[in-house]
Amino acid sequence: MQALLLIDVQPDFMPNGNLPVPDGDTILPMINQVQSHFDLVVATQDWHPKNHISFANNHSGKKEFDVITIDGLSQTLWPTHCVQNTSGAALHAKLNDQAIEAIFRKGTSVEIDSCSAFYDNAHLKSTGLTGYLKDKGVREIYFCGLAADICVYFSIIDALNEGFKCIVINEAVQALDKDVYHRQQIELRKKGVQFIGVNELINT
């Protein structure tokens, strides 16, 4: 069985959001177009408390995009984004959400960030997504969402380690740093990840 995973399609990651991904809004029509080709659609939301450890304004003397070490893990300090129960943390209003069967929230713990849809950054706590997908008989995950070089990338790494086949829909992701994402694509292809276009998906 194949599943479509929509990662963090939230206003704060779109242009004019608190942590905007360049051209992030261009993925919305693509995601809406492909959903009908899947029997299972699942979404994630970044869902942070306002005092989250990844926010730069919670660290005196630090600025946005500084990188520090917390409990042995590298941590980028982000602009405040996707705070629980704010409009920026909601699923985007232009996202067709009628087919979404389940939503998994991540980054809910104050003390640790969670880029991946599957685990926090230290792999101490599972979101439950692996068990959910395996219970549904999912073997292949198609990835959409934001940002391609951060939450999508780390979700793919965890999905591979959990034994899923991973496919990225090219026009349905955008990267915060396109150079980083280009290097990641080379790495992921070596690991067996496939990258396909929307037309290829629709016509297969």
Measuring CA to CA, which residue among 141, 79, 73, 78 is closest to residue 104? Answer: 141
Compute φ and ψ for 46, nearest 5 degrees: -65, 135
Q: Which of 25, 46, 82, 106 is catalytic?
A: 106
62 catalytic? Reply is no
Active site residue 115: no
Gap between the Cα atoms of 42 and 196, Å rounded:
19
- The residue type of 13 is F
Strands (E), the chain: 2-7, 40-46, 67-70, 73-76, 100-106, 140-146, 165-174, 194-196
Distance, CA of 72 to CA of 104 (rounded, Å): 26
Distance (Å, whole) CA 111 – CA 37: 38
Catalytic residue selected from 115, 151, 158, 166 = 151
Active site annotation includes 8: yes
- In degrees and rounded to multiples of 5, residue 129 shows phi and psi of -65, -40
47: left (phi over 0), alpha (psi -120 to 50) or beta: beta
Catalytic residue among 8, 113, 149, 158: 8
- What is the set of active-site residues? 8, 106, 151
